[in-house]
Amino acid sequence: MRIVKFSYKKKEEWGVLEDGIINILKQSPFSKIIRTKKHIPLKKVSLLVPAQASKVVLVGLNYRDHARELNMKIPREPIIFLKSPTALIAHKQRIIYPEGVKRLDYEAELALVIKKKAKNIPQKKAHEYILGYTCLNDVTARDLQKKDGQWTRAKSFDTFCPAGPWIETVLNPSKLGIKACLNSKTKQDSSTSNFIFSVPYIISFISRVMTLLPGDIISTGTPPGIGKMQIGDNITIEIDGIGRLQNKVSL
């Protein structure tokens, strides 16, 4: 099932997308998915970030092929960090290139949206807490990441977290092709089969640190091939079984 969040005539709604038509839901999908009898074509609405994140938690190095590329050791436990939820933007919204930043990078990532409150979750039960999966671009001011010695500023400028276009609820996250295309040229091309830490491991690990709330986003790291974007570039994150998240970089 594809779950969308959208705005139409200034009203925010949730829906289920089938063949280009949205079936509007009665309420947010976190408690229960209840369909109404109302429908609207996808092309009439503006898509919103399909979440209601109190936080966005990301994993640093999580692809074996990316670790090899960087000549780094395989980490023994996940390195996690936060992005401000105010950095979130939807499919087709613009990534703003901040003044003074010298290198702005894309990072294609598989993200998941949390369905219900999660604390100290064993790996075996992790699937019960996932509403579904979406594409995420972990936009990073690489020069500031190096300069600051920690990542908050480099990762959390407004618009630095494109996510969408929707949530796919039925998906096996362990073998998905993942790509980043910059102006139609493929720059990242890998598979989640290269994960160092699986999705259940990541959820279990993070939930032992902080309580995850419905609508929170967890992002699972990026494969090799990260690189820089310039003003005017179009960046697309594509994941098998989900779709394409497209954003343009602008001033």
- Return residues touching Mg ion (CB under 5 A): 107, 138, 222
Q: In what order do the strands lie in the sheet with 140-141?
A: 140-141, 104-106, 227-229
Name which of 79 and 209 has its Cβ closer to Mg ion: 79
CB of residue 27 vs Mg ion: minimum separation in angstroms?
32
CB of residue 62 vs Mg ion: minimum separation in angstroms?
8
Q: Return the amino acid letter for 11.
A: K
Give the CB-nearest residue to Mg ion.
138
CB of residue 251 vs Mg ion: minimum separation in angstroms?
24
Name which of 138 and 238 has its Cβ closer to Mg ion: 138
C-alpha 19: how far from chain center:
23
Evaluate the CA torsion angle 25, 113, 246, 150 in order and state its sign. positive
Name which of 222 and 247 has its Cβ closer to Mg ion: 222
Name which of 4 and 154 has its Cβ closer to Mg ion: 154
Token digits for 175? Answer: 């073998």
CB of residue 3 vs Mg ion: minimum separation in angstroms?
24
Q: Is 206 helix (H, G, I), strand (E, B) or coil?
A: helix
CB of residue 144 vs Mg ion: minimum separation in angstroms?
14
Token digits for 76? Answer: 């023994």
Name which of 15 and 221 has its Cβ closer to Mg ion: 221
Query: CA 187 to CA 107: how far, in whole Å?
Result: 10
Tell me the chain's radius of gyration from C-alpha atoms. Answer: 17
